[in-house]
Structure 1
């Protein structure tokens, strides 16, 4: 059998296996296995395109292969970062690549209590205050994440900028897309938000206990 027949059979076999991978890719609901099968499809089609000199297919999948590898790496890195945050400092810096910048001026209100919640914010610089509770938010804080989990999706407090600064915002829709693409991300994200909720509850309990101690001391003694 000459080399032309070998190339022809190789091309046919490659097309067959590539078709299987394409069908498998279409059945995937989450991003990581989808990217894995896409990478396998790229490799098979590149390998079979070389002996039959199918240059359009070769060029196309040579370009798509590094793109799929990068996207797979990005999603795996995202899950690692969220998992690390859950097990360490509860930071949400891993969300930065998916957020957009917004500059704020002193006196500007970012959102009002009881309005519909559609995004969360990461504080980069400046000063911000939750009006109803009087809580000052430090640089590095995330605010607005609980609106995504509440049944009514409304803000529970008003957020005001008290000194010029910069924040990053991400929509709930984008976070939901990341969850759909990778359930592992969603699992760790829920754990992270829950941990932050309990942390906030602990802080409020400490403040309440402190105020309770101060109250008797401030009360006037009977004459």
Structure 2
């Protein structure tokens, strides 16, 4: 049986589509979907099927954009995992996956002992942590440790000292990103552990200072 170029393109596009549905992580899925859309676009062009061309062109652009976004996420999260936690300016890589919020002064982000469900990246303003008399400033990540804490229980209270602009991401969204991108999961866990270690060292210095 002779198979024409158009049929070969159609079968190849279908094969990549099946592989994309079977992929368990996001990067291979996006690569397969991108290849499938490119072949589908070529198939539509050869057959002169304008709807097929238009649909696959749009899906190709979307998959390429998401593929680039995911690769950037993994790259930037890997860089953030190497950043000194006392210099928290490297967390902008999370913003595309977060939701911006505006909060008034006096707003309580969360209270000690509550079950946490989200983390925050502070964009402007200051957040006060009364238990430690500490300030969370622009560029700081807040509440992320609760993702790995037992029962997601908050270890401190966070109150907006001034009007605050922040970006919020739920733990469910972070977990979904981790399931889709195992490498991102490793980087995020590294970031959280390094921040936790930094907080412990800071608390130890605060305790030792009066004694000295």
Please indicate, yes or no, whether the TM-score normalized by the shorter chain is above 0.5. Answer: yes
- Paired with 1:15 and 1:60, the residues of 2 have a C-alpha distance of 14
Q: Secondary structure at the match of 1:152?
A: helix
- Paired with 1:101 and 1:44, the residues of 2 have a C-alpha distance of 38
State the shift of 1:26 in Å. Answer: 0.9
- Paired with 1:167 and 1:47, the residues of 2 have a C-alpha distance of 44
Give a deviation string over 1:132-151, Cα, whole Å, max 9, x none. Answer: 22222222211111111112
State the shift of 1:76 in Å. Answer: 0.3
Q: Secondary structure at the match of 1:170?
A: strand
Closer/same/farther in 2, CA of residues 135 and 42 from structure 1, 3 Å limit: same
Q: How many residues align?
A: 208
- What is residue 7 of structure 2 aligned with on the other side? 12
- Paired with 2:28 and 2:44, the residues of 1 have a C-alpha distance of 24
State the shift of 1:159 in Å. Answer: 0.9
Residue of 41, 50, 57 corresponding to 1:46? 41
- What is residue 27 of structure 1 aligned with on the other side? 22
Pick the structure with greater CA Rg.
1
Give a deviation string over 1:41-79, Cα, whole Å, max 9, x none. Answer: 112122222222122212211121111111100000011
Q: Secondary structure at the match of 2:63?
A: helix
State the shift of 1:191 in Å. Answer: 0.7
After the TM superposition, which parts of structure 1 deviate over 3 Å for at least 4 consecutive aligned residues?
Answer: none
- Paired with 1:164 and 1:40, the residues of 2 have a C-alpha distance of 47
- 2:80 equivalent to 1:81: no
Q: Which runs of 5+ in 1 are unaligned?
A: 1-5, 214-223
Q: Secondary structure at the match of 2:47?
A: coil
- Paired with 1:56 and 1:46, the residues of 2 have a C-alpha distance of 10
- Paired with 1:39 and 1:85, the residues of 2 have a C-alpha distance of 28
- Paired with 1:120 and 1:53, the residues of 2 have a C-alpha distance of 50
Larger mean Cα displacement after TM superposition, 194-203 or 99-108: 99-108
Query: Cα RMSD between the aligned structures?
Result: 1.8
Q: Which runs of 5+ in 2 are unaligned?
A: none
Give a deviation string over 1:2-37, Cα, whole Å, max 9, x none. Answer: xxxx9x722222222222111111110111110111
Q: Secondary structure at the match of 1:87?
A: coil
